[in-house]
Chain A
Amino acid sequence: MNLDFTQIVPYIPFMLEGIWVTLGFVSVSIIFGFILGTLIALIKISRIKFMVGLADAYTSVFRGTPLILQLMIIYFAIPQLTGYNIPPFFAAVLAFGLNSSAYISEIIRAGIQAVEKGQTEAAQALGVPYRPMMKDLILPQALKNILPALMNEFITLTKESAIVSTISYLDLMRRAQVVGSDIYRNFEPLLFVGLIYYLLVMGLTMLGKLLERRLRVSD
């Protein structure tokens, strides 16, 4: 066994900084993906056939191809087409946001459809228009039911986020690689950021449990 953790000590602040980089673009992607996913879900339950078709095709494409491919297309292929050199942060947020919106839209669609039909009918009978009905009455109930699935998607995203290292974005993962090639040892830095990813995921899991408990006051 040839392990020497003392060598990564000087690099620890550098690697820790990666936490904020990773959390930063992951949270922006999540918010972007959530908003877009909600809109797509609303289209999917609408009766506008053409739009429903588009939304289904969108979901199918983003779920049917590798995330790393989507990221590469956005980062490398778009500049080739448009001449605009997209900064890694935006490329990452775009790829992760679009990709997760496809998954989130399916989760939310299922969540909305699982809300009893009687809820919509009660709202309609009271004369409540569609928008406030969705926003105040149906979506809150749907979100409560799908919170575990959403949290799961967020956790997956956090772990998958490591692939942005392939576009040289200095996230947690990329920093481990940089340190590795600096000190000619890979095991120690990789193990170190591995631990950090694990703690991040555990933190998100706990946050999800907490949220669930708070939403359960009405039971």
Chain B
Amino acid sequence: MIKVEDLSKTFGKTEVLSDISTQVNSGEVVSIVGPSGSGKSTFLRCLNLLETPSNGSVWIQDYEITNPKTNILKAREHIGMVFQHFHLFPHLTVIDNITYAPKQVKGETADQAETKAKSLLEKVGLTDKANAYPNNLSGGQKQRVAIARALAMEPEIMLFDEPTSALDPEMVNEVLDVMKDLAKSGMTMAVVTHEMGFAKEVADRVFFLDHGKLVEDSPPSTFFSKPETQRAQDFLEKIL
């Protein structure tokens, strides 16, 4: 579960997020859409404190992560993140990328971590790449490894920031398929994406951000057929 109350974020004098309040329940999939610069990434990064909110509070499961007394490292075990540019560790093999955090952070044994990593690699269809280095993988493969790496921590929530935007078109689907499976398995997900097909098909709710405000929060059927605001209509016209 994610709960956000009166969340604001300013960089210097510019307000990038203003007064966002919402809640994402367990098992829900939310797509976050909006024009470039509207604050989508910043919003997502406030959810695991890669950005520190200027105001308001964020709860992740039972952790109030905006409270300075909260052990943020502990909270982050519950919330995985997948980046547009993968950010795999280039000096580690695929399997070491996946097992590193479970061993280091959760204290799993090498055996435990490896068994789990192998089953995750099977899930994302990359069993044969276990000993490859990230630089020898295609973009789609890298992103699937990045998803497996995040899943290895067994989070209840996954954040995705434009996971397919850096990929060649023919590789987008292999990553989206993994994400669809994940959604079906009941994972709570917040996905910033330009893939409106994914939002329509998989999301339970669509968040539309504009100028740092959460302007619409509705089911995809409503959002795509009759958006409430003029700004959302303009946005949809431009991209569809």
Chain A contact residues, CB within 8 Å of chain B: 116, 118-119, 121-129, 132, 136-137, 140-141, 144, 217-219
Given A121-B83, A125-B76, A125-B80, A218 and B50 touching (CB < 8 A)? no
Most chain B CB within 10 A, of A116, A118, A144, A217, is at: A118
Q: Once the chains bind, are A132 and B91 in contact (CB under 8 Å)?
A: no
Min distance, Cβ B78 to any Cβ of chain A, angstroms: 9
Name the CB-closest residue of B to A218.
Answer: B133
Name the CB-closest residue of A to B93.
Answer: A218
Q: Once the chains bind, are A137 and B89 in contact (CB under 8 Å)?
A: yes
Residues of chain B in range 28-49 having any CB-CB distance to chain A below 8 Å? 48
Name the CB-closest residue of B to A140.
Answer: B91
Q: Once the chains bind, are B87 and A126 in contact (CB under 8 Å)?
A: no
Contacts of B149 on A, CB cut-off 8 Å? Answer: 126
Q: Once the chains bind, are A217 and B153 in contact (CB under 8 Å)?
A: no
Interface: B123 (CB within 8 A): no
Min distance, Cβ A173 to any Cβ of chain B, angstroms: 39
Q: Bound complex: CA of A124 vs CA of B77, how far in Å?
A: 10
Q: Once the chains bind, are A218 and B91 in contact (CB under 8 Å)?
A: yes
List 13 A–B pairs whose Cβ atoms lie within 8 Å, in order of A's numbering. Answer: A119-B87, A122-B87, A122-B88, A124-B48, A126-B76, A126-B150, A127-B73, A128-B73, A128-B105, A129-B73, A141-B90, A141-B91, A218-B133
Contacts of B76 on A, CB cut-off 8 Å? Answer: 124-127
Contacts of A123 on B, CB cut-off 8 Å? Answer: 101
Given A125-B50, A127-B73, A127-B76, A118 and B85 touching (CB < 8 A)? yes
Interface: B135 (CB within 8 A): yes
Q: Bound complex: CA of A219 vs CA of B87, how far in Å?
A: 15
Interface: B81 (CB within 8 A): yes
Apart from the given pairs A116-B87, A123-B101, 17 other A-B contacts in the complex at a CB distance below 8 Å: A118-B87, A119-B89, A121-B50, A122-B81, A122-B87, A122-B88, A124-B50, A124-B76, A125-B76, A126-B80, A127-B101, A128-B73, A132-B104, A140-B91, A218-B133, A218-B134, A218-B135
